[in-house]
Amino acid sequence: MKNIVILISGGGSNMAAIIRCAQRESWLESFGARVAAVISNRADAGGLALAREHRIATDVVDHRRFATREAFDTELSVAIERHQPSLVVLAGFMRILTPQFVQRYQGRLLNIHPSLLPAFPGLHTHQRAIDAGCRFAGATVHQVTPELDHGPILERAVVPVLPDDTAETLAARVLVQEHQIYPRAIAALLPGLSGCAP
C-alpha cells in the first residue's frame, strides 16, 4: 500500500482536490495508493472535517504546545509515521520545517507554493507579484529541500495578472490552477513510489 499523508493548516482546498482526483482516477486500484491521513497543526483547520467526511484518518499536532521547532517536528513525525507514508504532501501547511524533518522525508515530501518559483518564495506572494508589475503569476509544485520554497520543480501553472487584480482575485485565479497541477504531480509520482504491506 502506498500511503499518502497530507498536512494542512487551513481550508484544505488543495487537499480536497487531491482526494477527489484519487477517487476519480481510482488511485487505489491503479497504483495501490490512497490518502491515508490528513494532519493539521490547527484544530480549527476547515479541511479536517472534509477529510473525516471521506473517512480519512485525521490528527492534530498543535505547534503552540511545543517550545521549539525541533520538538514540534519530532511529534509531527510521530503522527505521520503512524500511517507509514510513501508520500508526505504539504497542502497549505504554514509551518517552516526543520532540516532534520525535511531530510527524513527527502524525495517523498512535496509542497505547493502560490508563485512561479524561484520568484516570490515566502508569504504574500500575490500582492508581491502585483506590486512588482508582473504580467504573469502562478503556482509551483516542488520537492521540498531544506531551503524554504526551493527544490526540484515538478509542475507549474501560469495565469495572467489582470490590470484590476487584487491579491484576492489573483489568488482565486491561481488556486483554480493549483487544484489541477497538485493532483497531477502526485499521480505522476505514484508508479515509482515504494509502499508498505497492506
Check residue 109 for interaction with ligand GAR (CB under 6 A): no
| Residue span binding ligand GAR (CB under 6 A) among the ranges 10-18, 36-44, 58-66, 184-192 | 10-18
Whichever of 1 and 44 has its CB closer to ligand GAR, that residue is 44
Amino acid at 90: L
Least distance to ligand GAR from the beta carbon of 195, Å? 25
Check residue 151 for interaction with ligand GAR (CB under 6 A): no
Considering only residues 153-182, where is the footprint of ligand GAR by CB under 6 A?
A: 175, 178
Check residue 11 for interaction with ligand GAR (CB under 6 A): yes
Do the bridges between strand 109-113 and strand 136-143 make them parallel or antiparallel, or are there none, so unpaired?
antiparallel
| Residue span binding ligand GAR (CB under 6 A) among the ranges 12-20, 69-77, 80-88, 127-135 | 12-20
DSSP 126-192: HHHHHHTT-SEEEEEEEE--SSTT-S-EEEEEEEEPPTT--HHHHHHHHHHHHHHHHHHHHHHHGGG
Active site residue 113: yes
Check residue 112 for interaction with ligand GAR (CB under 6 A): yes
DSSP 4-44: EEEEESS--HHHHHHHHHHHHTTHHHHHSEEEEEEEES-TT
| Residue span binding ligand GAR (CB under 6 A) among the ranges 4-12, 53-61, 154-162, 189-197 | 4-12
Q: Which of 14, 41, 98, 177 binds ligand GAR (CB under 6 A)?
A: 14
Least distance to ligand GAR from the beta carbon of 21, Å? 13
Check residue 3 for interaction with ligand GAR (CB under 6 A): no
Task: Count the Cβ atoms, other than its own, within 10 Å of residue 188.
Answer: 12
Amino acid at 142: H
- Full strand arrangement of the beta sheet holding 57-60: 57-60, 33-40, 2-8, 85-90, 109-113, 136-143, 153-160
- The grid cell for 101 is 524533518
Site residues (CB under 6 A) for ligand GAR?
Answer: 8, 10-14, 91-92, 112-114, 139, 175, 178
Active site residues: 113
